[in-house]
Chain A
Amino acid sequence: MRYFLDMNLPVYYCLQIGHPLEKKAKSFIENKRDIFLLCDYIVDNNLPRWLRRQKIILFEFNQKIQNPEYAMFTSEQSKILFSQDKVLANRLLLNFEKSTDKSKFIEDINQVFNLLHARISFFIKRYIDEIVIPESEIDFDLKSCLFTWLTPNDSDAKTIASAIQEHKNKLLVIFTSDKEHWTKELLDEVHNNPLLIKRYPSLPKIEYLQSYQ
């Protein structure tokens, strides 16, 4: 089987929090008997951008704890942060303020962010068999159709479009934990488009990490 992985899976695999999804991701990856695919958009664009944003979150955190007068998100680089990144940075600061061992918290947060980065890069090298569909070759019509239903999530639209295109080259199964957005109903919308149904007569199945045994 060829599994096309969502971006969340490598991140879940790299964490150590004892969450059920993390355990399932570890089991899925470590019992690997299948081919794992990631799309070029995730490897070359989305994941590096996400990691860059994590670095900036850490930068903001470190600046703030060293200098309480520092106004969060005033650095030039913080302009690329999303609202959920700012929420994360503020929540980390709140946790820091509540922590009893501040030095340990600072050491931990820096180590977690550093290790997460290294682990994700290592994960791609060790476990990913193929990187498919160059971002420049993503079918614009297909992506636009998906984007209509996923608005405003351009990332998901590009990733799912890559999966559908690769499925046309060779059959695959999409593997994700996002039950809310990555649905069969969403894929069916592709077949409601007269142009796209001809271009992509077969659509991939979706399997969820939550259902993995």
Chain B
Amino acid sequence: MADKIKKTSEEIKNDILAQLKYGPKTTAELGDAIGSNWLTIEKFLNELKEQNKISELISTPKMRVYRRTDDPIYYSIPFNKEIRAKTLFILSEIEREWKKERKSDLSKTALQKLAVDVIKHCNLNLPILSFHYGLTTCASLDSNNQDILSLIEEPKDKVVILKCIKEVINDKNHTGIAYQERIYQYKKYDLPFYVAKEELTKLFLFHEKDKEASKELNLKIKKALLDLSLNYPLRLEKFYSDFEKFVNNSQIILSNQKNELQNLEIIKSTLTHLWDKLTTFTSFKDAEFFIDKENKQLFEQIRELNLNSKEMGYQNHIDELESVAQESNPFEIDMPQGNASVDIQKLIFESLENE
């Protein structure tokens, strides 16, 4: 029988961290990969947790799934090794090339926007997620984390990708400034829902700078909310009822002459949570196509976990928004004046008579 070399505790912990570089894993999977029994693995997992190097992604009585706290993949979605490595390669090469060509650092947002251009420009079969600030890759790059950088491998199509990166960086519309990069991407890929959200965010920022917000700001926010409604994408129709509830209550609050400034804060925070919920849904939707068969179940568990937690966050806020809206008397808010409004209401009236 061959002698088994006993590993030190540091070696086992490093082995665990090395395994988790390629995505989240269950206790059993880690045990099998490292060749340790359940008790040993549990002990070291707990130590790594205490050192804040890993965290429990899913915890049920039957199963625990762990992830590295520095996992570069958004939501720790279980993409395969190739997707992880190639995406990180693109991100790191863009960062390097940008520094070389433009002699400046790139913001994280800008890096993502450039990387999306590269993936699309090169027709690379890599995930692009509809994240909360627009289209992104599936990973975030921390170029100071050598351990994660060691994941990067040169892809077979390296030459094509590097050529693509050069072309994208040569596009003068890329400024490297986060706000400008977002707007450029939203226009380039026709994302009017994101444009409308950006405008709303901008108005809320004005409000933060100038607390003496005026009626004028209220009107602008009302218009921006309408614009958001008009550009509501069909792919999110299952959440339309939530969205409509948010818009409806916000419009009532903003139409109230006695609207107080703190109400804008409630509208803003509800929007943030609603947006988070919507874009978590779209991100997972975009990701699902790229998940290998053996990881489908884990993917669904992570998806459910995230959607549930976003839903809870949203519910707390929408309830508060609704209760503020209900303090207003909607009969003190006039229906819009003019023939168009009367004609619209007449049509509703006639339709009701046919009920």
Which chain A residue has the least Cβ–Cβ distance from B243? A59
Which residues of A lie under 8 Å from residue B262 when comparing CB positions?
Answer: none
Complex-state Cα separation, A65 to B255, whole angstroms = 24
Complex-state Cα separation, A119 to B232, whole angstroms = 24
Contact B344 A8 (CB under 8 A): no
Contact A55 B241 (CB under 8 A): yes
Complex-state Cα separation, A85 to B345, whole angstroms = 14
Confirm or deny: A72 has a beta carbon within 8 angstroms of a beta carbon on chain B.
Answer: no
B interface, by DSSP: helix, strand, loop or mixed? helix
Confirm or deny: B146 has a beta carbon within 8 angstroms of a beta carbon on chain A.
Answer: no
Of residues 341 to 355 in B, which have CB atoms within 8 Å of A's CB atoms? Answer: 341-349, 351-355
Which chain B residue has the least Cβ–Cβ distance from A92? B347
CB distance from B75 to the nearest CB of A (A): 26
Complex-state Cα separation, A77 to B237, whole angstroms = 8
Which residues of A lie under 8 Å from residue B73 when comparing CB positions?
Answer: none
Complex-state Cα separation, A17 to B346, whole angstroms = 7
Contact B347 A115 (CB under 8 A): no
Contact B355 A110 (CB under 8 A): no
Of residues 58 to 90 in A, which have CB atoms within 8 Å of B's CB atoms? Answer: 58-59, 62-63, 65-66, 70, 75-77, 84-85, 87-88
Identify which of B230, B344, B347 gathers the most chain A CB atoms within 10 Å of its CB.
B344
Q: Among the listed B230, B247, B340, which residue makes an inter-chain contact with A108, where contact means beta carbons less than 8 Å apart?
A: B340
If the complex has contacts A75-B234, A75-B237, are A19 and B338 also in contact, measured as CB distance less than 8 A?
no
Confirm or deny: A128 has a beta carbon within 8 angstroms of a beta carbon on chain B.
Answer: no
Complex-state Cα separation, A105 to B226, whole angstroms = 12
Confirm or deny: A36 has a beta carbon within 8 angstroms of a beta carbon on chain B.
Answer: no
Q: Among the listed B247, B330, B354, which residue makes an inter-chain contact with A122, where contact means beta carbons less than 8 Å apart?
A: B330
Q: Among the listed A7, A12, A88, A155, which residue makes an inter-chain contact with B351, where contact means beta carbons less than 8 Å apart?
A: A88
If the complex has contacts A77-B237, A112-B335, are A59 and B232 also in contact, measured as CB distance less than 8 A?
yes
Contact B244 A110 (CB under 8 A): no
If the complex has contacts A52-B241, A59-B240, are A84 and B351 also in contact, measured as CB distance less than 8 A?
yes
Confirm or deny: B231 has a beta carbon within 8 angstroms of a beta carbon on chain A.
Answer: yes
Complex-state Cα separation, A15 to B347, whole angstroms = 11
Contact B335 A95 (CB under 8 A): no
CB distance from A59 to the nearest CB of B (A): 6
Which residues of B lie under 8 Å from residue A107 when comparing CB positions?
Answer: 223, 226, 336
Complex-state Cα separation, A112 to B234, whole angstroms = 22
If the complex has contacts A63-B234, A122-B329, are A111 and B335 also in contact, measured as CB distance less than 8 A?
yes
How many residues on chain A are close to B (CB under 8 Å)? 52
Confirm or deny: B251 has a beta carbon within 8 angstroms of a beta carbon on chain A.
Answer: yes
Complex-state Cα separation, A55 to B237, whole angstroms = 12
Which residues of A lie under 8 Å from residue B240 when comparing CB positions?
Answer: 55, 59, 77
State the A residues within 8 Å of B (CB).
7-8, 11-12, 15-19, 22, 50, 52, 54-55, 58-59, 62-63, 65-66, 70, 75-77, 84-85, 87-88, 91-92, 95, 99, 101, 104-112, 114-119, 121-122, 125, 155
Contact B342 A101 (CB under 8 A): no
Which chain A residue has the least Cβ–Cβ distance from B232? A62
Which residues of B lie under 8 Å from residue A70 when comparing CB positions?
Answer: 234
Which residues of B lie under 8 Å from residue A66 when comparing CB positions?
Answer: 192, 230-231
Contact B354 A105 (CB under 8 A): no
Contact A155 B251 (CB under 8 A): no
Q: Among the listed A16, A59, A84, A92, which residue makes an inter-chain contact with B355, where contact means beta carbons less than 8 Å apart?
A: A84
Given contacts A105-B344, A112-B336, A114-B251, 8 further A-B contacts (CB under 8 A): A16-B341, A62-B232, A65-B230, A66-B230, A95-B343, A119-B330, A125-B326, A155-B355
Confirm or deny: B252 has a beta carbon within 8 angstroms of a beta carbon on chain A.
Answer: yes
Complex-state Cα separation, A194 to B347, whole angstroms = 43
Q: Give 10 nearest A-B pairs by CB, closest first.
A: A118-B330, A16-B335, A88-B351, A108-B336, A108-B341, A17-B345, A84-B354, A119-B330, A114-B248, A105-B340
Contact A76 B238 (CB under 8 A): yes
Contact B330 A115 (CB under 8 A): yes
CB distance from A109 to the nearest CB of B (A): 5
CB distance from A49 to the nearest CB of B (A): 11
If the complex has contacts A112-B335, A118-B248, are A19 and B346 also in contact, measured as CB distance less than 8 A?
yes
Complex-state Cα separation, A99 to B339, whole angstroms = 10
Complex-state Cα separation, A52 to B248, whole angstroms = 13
